[in-house]
Amino acid sequence: MTDTRLEPREASDEAPRGRAPARRARFWTLRRTDAATGYLFIAPQLIGVLVFVVVPVGLAIWYSLNEWNIFTGELEYVGGGNYQAALDDPQLPSVLGATAVFSGGVVVLNLVLGLALAVMLNRRFKGAVLFRTLFFSPVVVSVVAWTLVWGFLLQDNGGINGVLEQLGVDGPNWLQSGPTAMIAVTFTQVVRSVGINMVLFLAALQGVPGELYEAARLDGASSRSVFFRITLPLISPTLLLTAIITIVGALQSFAQIAVLTEGGPGLSTTVLVYYVFQQAFSFNDIGYGSTLALMLLTFVMVLTVIQWQLRRKWVFYED
């Protein structure tokens, strides 16, 4: 709290001393040295963020006001042209729809499943640790490998339809029709990443004081009302944090889409992040790609602000 308690021995290196009253001079000396050290300590991280995040965002804004001339290889200023193009883009509504369905599906499924797993595994029973490990394990599997294997299993003659056939069910060609392809990418993404939320929920559940459960039980509360009246409100900060992490993660799911469906069939699984990649790198339309990228950034920012606002009203318990 108070820096004056920390007296560095070499504190007087760079400040004049002796002239002003001793206490005052030492006070400033300490502050300066310490502040200089602070700037030095954060410098690599700060410079990294400025060079690799802030400057690129500035450049993206600039690109979005320009058109890339393929013949001269130069940028030509077009003002709001790319933004007008976005409004006129006949594909964009479909892309945004797919983004909403995918992100919404992932967040809802992920939070519900993550919380359900955490509640089930928050008791002491034989095998609890084993199950926890199993549910977490896809998190450490590389996204591309995980998605490749699911792509393999989801082939028309793949393992999933093979098993369904044994059960007398004629499975669909999962990746070749829009709705089933969307189900496939959503499900694959949820199973791969729900382990993180499960662990965060488990940690939160273990932080709920046991006396509260005791008290509720003595009052004859049902397990359902204990869950909704005690557990859920008390872990709501974690719920909120995981919601942010999950939705931002879903908005950035590039590899899953690229490997499993390449945005297809048609545009059915072309989410915004994949569309950005296509425009900027497949079609070399840097201006329009940047415009779409800024749209993605706006979504992430707006979502974060909304969640922070909700946090004030909705979270009952903090620290």
Partner 1 sequence: MRTDLAARPAPAAPGRFGPVARRVALYTALIVLAAPFVIPTLWMITSSFKPLNEIFASPPSFFSDAPTTAAYAEAFSFQPFARQYFNSVYIALVVTAITLLVSALAGYAFARIRFPGRNLLFIVVLVGLLVPSEVTIVPLFQMFKQAGLVNTHWPLILVTALAAPCVLATFIMRQFFIALPVELEEAARLDGLGRFGIWWRICVPLAKPALSAVAILTFLASWNLYLEPTVYLTSPELFTLPQALTRFTDPYGGEMWNTQLAAATMTVVPVLVVFLIAQRHFVESLAHSGLKG
Ranges within 106-165 binding partner 1 (CB under 8 A): 113, 117, 120-121, 123, 125, 127, 129, 131-146, 148-150, 152-153, 155, 157-159, 162-163, 165
Q: Which of residues 263-282 bind partner 1 (CB under 8 A)?
A: 273, 276-277, 280-281
Of 20 and 141, nearer to partner 1 (C-beta) is: 141
Q: Which of residues 280-299 bind partner 1 (CB under 8 A)?
A: 280-281, 286, 289-290, 293-294, 296-297
Position 165: which residue type? E
Task: Please pick, from the candidates 41, 228, 314, 316, the single residue that binds partner 1 as defined by CB under 8 A.
Answer: 41
**Shortest reach from residue 134's CB to partner 1, in Å:** 5
Contact yes or no for 233/316 (Cβ under 8 A)? yes
**Shortest reach from residue 201's CB to partner 1, in Å:** 9
261 sits near partner 1 (criterion: CB under 8 A): no
Which residue intervals of the chain are DSSP H helices? Answer: 22-49, 55-64, 81-88, 92-121, 128-136, 143-153, 159-166, 178-206, 210-218, 223-226, 232-234, 236-251, 255-260, 272-277, 286-314
49 sits near partner 1 (criterion: CB under 8 A): yes
260 sits near partner 1 (criterion: CB under 8 A): no
Q: Any idea what the Cα angle at residue 143 is, between residues 142 and 147, rounded to 5°?
A: 120
10 sits near partner 1 (criterion: CB under 8 A): yes
Task: Please pick, from the candidates 25, 56, 92, 233, the single residue that binds partner 1 as defined by CB under 8 A.
Answer: 56
| Sequence-separated (6 or more) residues with CB below 8 Å from residue 258 | 274, 277
251 sits near partner 1 (criterion: CB under 8 A): yes
The helix (run of H) or strand (run of E) holding residue 74 is strand 74-77
Q: Which residues of 210-243 are buried (b: 16+ CB within 10 A; e: fewer)?
A: eeeeeebeeeeeeeeebeeebbeebbbbbbbebb
Q: Which of residues 168-187 bind partner 1 (CB under 8 A)?
A: 187
Of 25 and 213, nearer to partner 1 (C-beta) is: 213
Q: Which of residues 65-104 bind partner 1 (CB under 8 A)?
A: none
Of 25 and 303, nearer to partner 1 (C-beta) is: 303
**Shortest reach from residue 98's CB to partner 1, in Å:** 16
301 sits near partner 1 (criterion: CB under 8 A): yes
Which residue intervals of 252-318 are DSSP H helices? Answer: 255-260, 272-277, 286-314
Here the tokens at position 77 are 């200023």
Q: Any idea what the Cα angle at residue 187 is, between residues 181 and 190, rounded to 5°?
A: 140
Q: Which of residues 207-246 bind partner 1 (CB under 8 A)?
A: 207, 217, 220, 222-223, 226, 235-238, 240-241
